[in-house]
Amino acid sequence: MLRLVLICLLCMLAAPPLQAQTNDGIGLTDLPIGVQTGASDDLRILRRLEELLTELRGYENVRVEVRGGVVIFTGRTVDPEKQDALNQIAARIDGVVAVENRVEVSLDVAERVAPVADRLWRRLLAGINATPVLLVAALTGLALTWAGFQIAKLHWPWDRIAPNEFMADVLRQIIRLIAILAGLMIFLDIMGAGALMTKVFGAMGIVGLAVGFAVRDTVENFIASIMLSLRTPFRPREFVDIGGDQGFVVRLTSRATILLTADGNHVRIPNATVFKSKITNFSRHPQRRFTFTLSVSNPGNLSGARQIMLQAMLDADFILDDPGPAVWLTDVADGAAKFTCAGWIDPAQTNFNAGRGEALRLTVNALERAGKGLSSAGLTITLAQDMPEAEPEATTAAQDISQDEAIVEIIEEEIHDPDLEDLFAGRTKDE
């Protein structure tokens, strides 16, 4: 099979040139045609055309004749564009009144392959000659890129400037990108390819725009994660409300914020939604206030009833003394007085709901011991006439009002899990 192919190629090379695409049209110039012409003029035109065709490539097989100001081209060329260019060349020479182009486009394999081989050879020689410049440009670009990567690896400047590890890593990525672009620019500049450099950056801009539209949600969440890590509206272990979802913050990733609810459920909220939502941080301030309302029937002395409830809250050791608890009369209607009770706790030490419930229990017990019944508007307490007097009850917490240990353990496991992405890493894990 290989021998048959070689024989066919040899036959094609030895075959006479195939002729095609002849151009026998006559082209006229805009010059006026004189009534007399001399041999010297024809000779001058002929020599000038021969000089031009000698300098130009692709016209080695083209011959020229000039008769009375008429230029006649014969022969063959391998490029149709060069065939048409002969008319334009001759028309620009002074004294030419007409051009007859008889040049044919050759389909000979040898003639068509030879120029290609010649061009490849010249390009190879040019590449070899340009090797020193290419090496210098490549080494310079690589050195600049390497230096940028080494700077990006440093910990001191970026960890000191950035508010967290995530932002430090973002700064490092920006430095690496700048180093790559700078290395590419210096390489192209040394090679003298300024126009190519402009095209490359233009193409990169178009590609970046297309990719940005394709992954718009991902880019939006990533930018939102950067803004959240800079503004830090919350930190791990803090109890927050984000657009109606409440829970403890366990992680901030490049796409979402992870909350752990009081029931142990994970809530994953996209960072773009978090950034646009109303955020209530219940743990940022070291003190948090709870309130509840009691309606006391037949209170008698209003000041005395208020003092009973206030003293019950003052005696509770989990309620802060500064700021202290408060009780105030809200309304009096239908023989009942409505009081609002408020107290402050430390959310880091006391479970909010458990603390509020314990304060409510202690206050109700204090009213029971004083013989003050709650009205039907709230909790109804009916005291039997023969009921023995209740023993005084300690006003300290009778139930565990500290943070739920199960939730605390889950939060700590989530925060310290090295396999989970966390943009707060390096700043708040050891707090």
Per-residue tens of pLDDT for the chain, all 431 residues: 555 545 555 555 444 444 444 455 566 556 555 545 567 788 898 889 888 888 888 888 889 998 888 899 998 888 888 888 888 888 888 888 888 888 888 777 666 677 777 778 888 888 788 788 888 889 999 999 999 999 988 878 777 777 667 777 778 888 998 999 888 888 888 887 767 777 777 777 777 667 666 667 778 888 888 888 878 888 888 889 999 999 989 888 888 899 998 888 889 999 999 999 999 988 888 888 899 998 888 667 788 888 999 999 999 989 998 888 999 999 888 778 889 999 999 887 888 888 899 999 999 988 888 876 665 444 444 333 343 444 444 444 455 566 566 667 777 777 777 666 666 665 444 44
pLDDT per residue as tens digits for the range 267-323 = 999 999 999 999 998 888 888 889 999 888 866 778 888 899 999 999 998 999 888
Q: What is the pLDDT of residue 241?
A: 93
Q: What is the pLDDT of residue 111?
A: 66
Sign of CA dihedral 262, 268, 273, 276: positive
DSSP class per residue in 81-142: HHHHHHHHHHHTSTT--EEEE--EEE--HHHHHHHHHHHHHHHHHHHHHTHHHHHHHHHHHH
Give the phi and the psi of residue 400 in degrees, each rounded to 5. -75, 110
Sign of CA dihedral 347, 351, 352, 355: negative
* Lookup: tokens for 20: 């095609």
Q: What is the pLDDT of residue 58?
A: 80
Q: What is the pLDDT of residue 121?
A: 85
Q: What is the pLDDT of residue 270?
A: 92
Q: How far apart are CA 307 and CA 328, in angstroms?
A: 10
Q: What is the pLDDT of residue 341?
A: 94
Q: How far apart are CA 229 and CA 215, in angstroms?
A: 21
pLDDT per residue as tens digits for the range 294-308 = 888 866 778 888 899
72 within 8 A of 64, measured Cβ to Cβ: yes
Q: What is the pLDDT of residue 8?
A: 57
Q: What is the pLDDT of residue 310?
A: 92
332 within 8 A of 338, measured Cβ to Cβ: yes
Residue 403 DSSP label? P
Q: What is the pLDDT of residue 11?
A: 55
257 within 8 A of 424, measured Cβ to Cβ: no
Q: How far apart are CA 414 and CA 257, in angstroms?
A: 13
Q: Helix or strand or coil: residue 60?
A: coil
